[in-house]
Amino acid sequence: MIKKKQGVIGILTGGGDVPGLNPAIRAVTIRALREGYQVIGIRRGWGGLVDVVRQKDADNSNNFQYLTEEVVNRAARTGGTFLHTSRTNPSKMKKADVPLQYQDKYAEERNDLTPEVLKNIDFLGIDYLIPIGGDDTLSYGVRLYKEGMKVVALPKTMDNDVPGTDYCIGFSTCVTRTISLTNSLRTIAGSHERLLVLEVFGRYAGFTAMLPTMAGAANRCVIPEYKFNIEQLAELMIYDRKRNPSNYSVVLVSEGAMFEGGEMVFAKMETDAYGHAKLGGIGELVGAAIKDVSPKFNNGIKVDVVEQKLGYMVRGGDPDSIDSIVPMAFGNLALDLLLKGVHGRLVVLKNGRYDNMPLDVVTATKKVVNVNQFYDTNRYRPKYENFEMKPQFIMTSEL
């Protein structure tokens, strides 16, 4: 079917892994090969493009591979990304992370290796670049586009917080896993008549706590967009517990949620290449605090708490149906744009329709829960009203 080589497409996955990445890689590769393109899979996100050694006989197998239908078909039904991933930011590389071949040239504490990335892209003969990632990964895609690279991007993050799109690859599986895991833990909370506090991902946006709660997995949720009062939360949970025949209640806590007067809770203060310190521990703090104040709302009797961090359990395993279908459509949409000679775009799903947006939307704005529209700040749960003409995932559109 391939009459002549149309060009070379480079594809990469950056940031956190999610189910749905391999189906996206497959979709791009299958369509591209059949349209006459060669496809290069960049390993470890932007890291692979930084580490390339520009010598004819150099072993760059750790940095890229040529993709075939056999390779991508084998991987497509699985979770994670067979190209691997990293949080490498070539525009702000720490001195210790600069590859050996560039250390004489880049010796600052923070270094911009974009000139080397562009040379490496040229060395590999890549004509078009398709990065798959969240706003951090895609922000560097914007940089390369401004440098003249032909870029079409796919949004990926289970937090679902990439601006411009209602849906990001990985979100549906995350919500599905959260609901399933929460329901599994109900038996423990009910058996011991305890309060169940579950910490979920969500640094700046609370979609991963809001959607499962809206679906009935939890009684309450606290999110990064609104600081919560611990006594108010405890009172609501004790109220829910008393109304439950099994004598327990559930709250989902976004990892970026904050106490009134407090700040985000960090697992460690060292930062990644994009300046983010690792979050973690807010769920444990919330559980301990609720237990301490519970007697105030339970006739002087303390209520025990089951606290669990769902963590990587919600991003592991195979993609669900939506995270198998949407990546397929996103990948083919990216090829549609390339075939039309259109670049600098972000493939999106907006109000139930597939479309594309200017790529720089990912750096021009932020996507968070509209608290006034979707979150009941008195009852710490989603608002169950005005669903008419909302997108499939309700509060994921920037309205």
Q: Which residues are catalytic?
A: 159
CA angle 334, 339, 341 (to 5 degrees): 95
Question: How many whole angstroms separate alpha carbon 383 and alpha carbon 379?
Answer: 9
3-state SS, one letter per residue, for the chain = CCCCCCEEEEEEECCCCCCCHHHHHHHHHHHHHHCCEEEEEECCCHHHHHHCCCCCCCCCCCCEEECCHHHHHHHCCCCCCCCCCCCCCHHHEEHHHCCHHHCCCCCCCEECCHHHHHHHHHHHCCCEEEEEECHHHHHHHHHHHHCCCEEEEEEECCCCCCCCCCCCECHHHHHHHHHHHHHHHHHHHHHHCCEEEEEECCCCCCHHHHHHHHCCCCCEEECCCCCECHHHHHHHHHHHHHHCCCCCEEEEEECCCCECCCCCCEEEEEECCCCCEEECCHHHHHHHHHHHHHHHHCCCCCCCEEEEECHHHHCCCCCCCHHHHHHHHHHHHHHHHHHCCCCCEEEEEECCEEEEEECCHHHHCCCCCCHHHHEECCCCEECCCCCCCCCCCCCCCCC
How far is the C-alpha of 255 from the C-alpha of 281, rounded, in Å? 8
How wide is the angle at C-alpha 26 spanned by C-alphas 24 and 32, nearest 5°? 105
- Contact of 49 with 90, CB cutoff 8 Å: yes
Dist CA 350 CA 105 (whole Å): 44
